[in-house]
């Protein structure tokens, strides 16, 4: 499909399904394509102090950099060990999920790489996929098998562990398995008050979006429940705005209505950001965290919205 930017405000690709979405939509903003020509764009993360965005191109084994000031795209890291999800910790350092090394790493201020997790209970992780940080400094990540099922998004290998959701303690470095019941845990994000963790299960059929209660002082997950059972498409990455709405990367729909689904805390889809490509992941950025960046298959898109993303994504 040939993409053309909208010349109309509001952009007809930004669809209001519920009146509550109208206050989140910036009617004077249209979807922008910032760059294209990638194989599978994933894991965008915003660096406001440098006014740039990083994201992964997994099959090409690199992390790319887009400059807000110049619009230039450059290579930040190659090889990237088939990096997938990225975020920043509360000290501003890059945290990355790597497929081919089957680990979660942190890039220090001097560029050195510290391994945060590569095994659990004496066994190698599968292929860490997405990652978020909590205000206490802990790192939470999902570990499905997508990066070891073939030689495109990583390296083919045998799984040694069940798919899982993990927490890395900020002080001891201890890795704790929080849940291993989902078929393909993928994108994850905290609610604004960090009392909930949302997790997309891209491996179940139908796909489901789960909500967990964060318990035991932020060290455990309880009360796993289905927030939304997906009728069409596959949910991938997710971020949450300050009102508590989920902005979910969405693709592989039968209708071709790919892009982003906006879901309220009760599990109702209230809006759609339509893209011509399946969206894999997203983040909020810009000076006021009101610019939605979307990594979608071969391209990078953005849209200004009337809300802000919460910290830690």
Q: Which residues are annotated as a binding site?
A: 42, 129, 186, 236
DSSP 262-306: EE-TTS-EEEEEE-SS---EEEEESTTS-EEEEEETTEEEEEEBS
51: left (phi over 0), alpha (psi -120 to 50) or beta: left
135: left (phi over 0), alpha (psi -120 to 50) or beta: alpha
* 3-class secondary-structure state, position 143: strand
Say if residues 175 and 165 touch (Cβ distance below 8 Å).
Answer: no
Write out the binding residues for a divalent metal cation.
Answer: 42, 186, 236
Burial 267-305, CB ≥16 within 10 A → b, else e: eebbbbbbbbbbbbbbbbbbeebbbbbbbbbbbbbbbbb
CA distance 305 to 262: 12
CA distance 107 to 118: 15
Structure tokens at 283: 């983040």
89 in catalytic set: no
* 3-class secondary-structure state, position 173: coil
* Order of strands across the sheet that contains 83-88: 83-88, 94-98, 103-107, 113-117
CA distance 19 to 23: 8
Q: Which of 130, 143, 179, 236 is catalytic?
A: 236
Structure tokens at 266: 């009760």
Task: Give the residue numbers marked as catalytic.
Answer: 236
């Amino acid at each position: 499909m040939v993409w053309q930017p909208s010349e109309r405000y509001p952009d007809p690709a930004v669809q209001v399904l519920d009146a509550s979405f109208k206050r989140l939509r910036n009617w004077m903003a249209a979807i922008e394509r910032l760059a294209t020509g990638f194989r599978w764009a994933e894991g965008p993360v915003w660096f406001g102090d440098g006014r740039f965005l990083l994201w992964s191109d997994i099959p090409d084994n690199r992390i790319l950099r887009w400059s807000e000031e110049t619009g230039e795209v450059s290579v930040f890291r190659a090889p990237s060990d088939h990096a997938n999800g990225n975020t920043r910790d509360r000290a501003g350092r890059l945290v990355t999920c790597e497929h081919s090394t089957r680990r979660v790493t942190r890039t220090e201020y001097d560029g050195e790489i510290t391994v945060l997790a590569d095994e659990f209970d004496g066994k190698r992780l599968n292929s860490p996929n997405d990652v978020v940080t909590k205000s206490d400094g802990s790192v939470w990540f999902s570990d499905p098998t997508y990066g070891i099922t073939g030689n495109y998004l990583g390296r083919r290998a045998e799984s040694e562990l069940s798919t899982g959701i993990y927490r890395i303690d900020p002080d001891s470095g201890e890795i704790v398995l929080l849940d291993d019941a989902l078929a393909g845990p993928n994108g994850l994000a905290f609610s604004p008050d960090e009392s909930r963790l949302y997790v997309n299960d891209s491996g179940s059929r139908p796909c489901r979006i789960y909500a967990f209660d964060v318990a035991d002082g932020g060290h455990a997950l309880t009360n796993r429940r289905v927030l939304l059972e997906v009728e069409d498409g596959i949910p991938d990455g997710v971020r949450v705005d300050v009102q508590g709405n989920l902005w979910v990367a969405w693709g592989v729909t039968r209708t071709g209505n790919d892009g982003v689904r906006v879901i309220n805390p009760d599990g109702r889809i209230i809006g759609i950001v339509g893209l011509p490509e399946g969206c894999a992941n997203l983040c909020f950025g810009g000076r006021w965290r009101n610019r939605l960046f979307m990594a979608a298959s071969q391209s990078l898109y953005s849209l200004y919205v009337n809300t802000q993303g919460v910290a830690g994504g």
